[in-house]
Structure formats: C-alpha cells, structure tokens
Amino acid sequence: MVDTADHVAFRDHLVESGWLRRTSVDGVVGRTAPFVAVERGIDAVVTRAGADQDATVLRFPPLFPRESYLRTDYLASFPNLSGSIHTFEGTDRDAVALLAQQAAGEDWGLSLVTTDLMLVSASCHPSYELFAGQLESDAVRLDIEGWCFRREPSPDPARAQAFRQREFVFIGTPDGAQAHRDEWVTRGLAVMAELGLPAVSDVANDPFFGRAGRMLAANQIEEVLKIELLVPLYGADSPGTALVSSNCHRDHFGVNFGITTPDGEIAHTACVGFGIERIVVGLVRHHGPRIEDWPMPVREALGL
C-alpha cells in the first residue's frame, strides 16, 4: 500500500524541480515548460506507434452531451467519479439572489440548473454517438485525444482530477475488437520499452461503485476484458500504476449507441488509452528530473 506521504513527496519533488505548479485544489495542477515539451514528445511516439492504423483523427472538447454520457452507463458504474455541468439561468433578480447566497457563504451551486453537458468520462466516450447506425466498414479505427475528468482528489501526481488520454479506438466485428485489444497490449509494451519504462501487463479491474459494482469488477477480471500496463512509480506500489490500458468493451457501446456492422450485427468496440500525464511523471520518476540526464535513446524517441 502506498502512503499519501509518498504521493506528497513525489508531487513536491515535481514542483521543486520545475515540472508542475500546484493550485489550491488537489489533483488540479499547472504544467510547466518541460512537462509540455515531454508530452509533445509522447504524442509523437504514440502517433508513430499507430501510424499504420490509418485511424481517423477526432478531437473532442472536455465536455460532451449528457445523453451520450448516459448511454455509456458511466452513471451506474462510477457516479462518484462523474462531473456534471450546471449553469445559471434566470432573471436579473435571480442573479442578485445568487450573488447574495454566495456572499453569505451558502451553497449557491444548488441554485443552478442542470445543463445537457457532462465532463468527458473517457476520451473515446464522445465518439460513439457519431457512429450510431450501420457502419460502412467492418473495422473503423479512430485516433482520439482529449481531457477526461475523474472526481478523485489526491496529491498523487499520477491521479489528477483532469488528465488527458490518447486513445486508438476500434469499432467493428467481435474478432476485430478482440484483436485490437490484444495487439495494442503488444504495441503499448513496445512504447513503454522505447521510453525506458519497466512495464508489465496485468488483467485489470476498475473501481466500479457499490455492491453491483463489485459484481461488474469481478466479471471484468473473469472475462479478461481490460489489460493494463503497469509501471512502478512508488516503492510500495508493486507492480505499479497503469500508464496504458487496453480494453475490449464487447458489444456494450454497440448495443447502447445502436451501432451495427455492415452485415447488421451489433458492433463490438475496443480501445487502448495512453495516460499522457502518467507517462510524463513516470519518465521523471525513472529517469530523473533533468531531461539532459535521460538516456539518449529516450530523448531521441521524444525528440528532446
């Protein structure tokens, strides 16, 4: 078990060595020049790893339609990690009342209205609604990157409340989805090796919420749906933190978004996600805070 003190020490190390700036909320940080330079390098490395996929580039904002969010079933599985967007609607007088409530230290958020938007729960989630209906091909491949939100306030620099996932997504036949998941375990391990990060693959389970969630988690392990690439970031976190994960969703999104293959079967989907911030802090953990001191092959891979 990793102690919070380990997280605080690593975060402070990143701040003191000029990689991060803290804000007044845990898990919400400012990235500085070296961080941004390394994340650009990682972007290029992952782009090369998927260059032969001929994937369609899609980039979404950090928020997406509430209707799509509901179709992912994220509300049932992770209500406690979700981010719902609310705003003010009302008259001049309502706004005066809102400000008075805020000035009095009351919970003025309760006076806002629920919008039709949610924060993005996983970077592929906004994409599925675009493919509702019959696919034109047995194998649609997407290249997605975007901001995700998970309500997990923590000092751990590898567990931000907002972070980016670069994903390669497959939508098509069941065999294709399974193959995508497996192939990207291999490719992900190659990316980790290129970056000099000691990764091992392992069957994963997500922290599904509540009693029903425990069954979902057990099922996820039993069916070997999600494989994570783990890299040790803390002495005691063996075998490590997931920097990459490759996930077969079976027909989950196909059913919920009404996506079918050209022959009319429910589409299966799979995705691999690279955690950009986690890879950056993994590099600092394993190669040190000075990029000049990093192994030359790693610097060359990153173009630094």
* Burial grade of 111 (CB within 10 A; 0-12, 13-18, 19 or more): middle
At its nearest, how many Å lie between a second copy and the CB of residue 276? 11
Q: Does 61 bind a second copy (CB under 8 A)?
A: yes
**What are the C-alpha distances in Å from 149 to residues 24, 89, 93, 122, 260?**
18, 24, 33, 8, 29
Q: What angle do CA 200, 206, 207 make, to 5 degrees?
A: 130
At which residue do the structure tokens 């192939």 appear?
A: 183
Position among 1, 5, 33, 296 found at the interface with a second copy (CB under 8 A)? 33
Q: Does 266 bind a second copy (CB under 8 A)?
A: no
Q: Does 130 bind a second copy (CB under 8 A)?
A: yes
Q: Are 251 and 156 in contact (CB under 8 A)?
A: no
Q: Please give the DSSP secondary-structure letter assigned to residue 125.
A: G
Q: Which is nearer to a second copy, 24 or 136 (CB)?
A: 24
Position among 17, 82, 205, 220 found at the interface with a second copy (CB under 8 A)? 82
d(CA 124, CA 127): 5
Q: Are 241 and 235 in contact (CB under 8 A)?
A: no
Q: Does 95 bind a second copy (CB under 8 A)?
A: yes
Whether the CA torsion 187, 193, 196, 200 is positive or negative: it is positive
Q: Does 107 bind a second copy (CB under 8 A)?
A: yes
How many residues bind a second copy (CB under 8 A)? The answer is: 69
Beta bridge partners of 20: 31
- Residue 295: name the closest of 158, 190, 193 by CA: 193
Position among 2, 6, 8, 31 found at the interface with a second copy (CB under 8 A)? 31
Amino acid symbol at 164: R
Q: Which is nearer to a second copy, 37 or 139 (CB)?
A: 37
Q: Does 16 bind a second copy (CB under 8 A)?
A: no
**Site map for a second copy, 197-226, x if CB under 8 A?**
------------xxx---------------
- Residue 160: name the closest of 171, 169, 152, 170 by CA: 152
Torsion of CA 203, 238, 4, 212, to 10 degrees: 20
Q: Which is nearer to a second copy, 73 or 175 (CB)?
A: 73
Q: Are 242 and 228 in contact (CB under 8 A)?
A: yes
At its nearest, how many Å lie between a second copy and the CB of residue 216? 13
Residues 6+ apart with CB under 8 A from 264: 134
Q: Which is nearer to a second copy, 5 or 33 (CB)?
A: 33
**Site map for a second copy, 134-173, x if CB under 8 A?**
-------------x-x-x--------xxxx----------
Position among 2, 8, 15, 112 found at the interface with a second copy (CB under 8 A)? 112
Q: Which is nearer to a second copy, 31 or 141 (CB)?
A: 31
Binding region for a second copy (CB under 8 A): 21, 23-25, 28-33, 35-36, 56-65, 67-68, 70, 75-76, 79-89, 92, 95-96, 98-99, 102, 107-110, 112-117, 119, 126-127, 129-130, 147, 149, 151, 160-163, 209-211
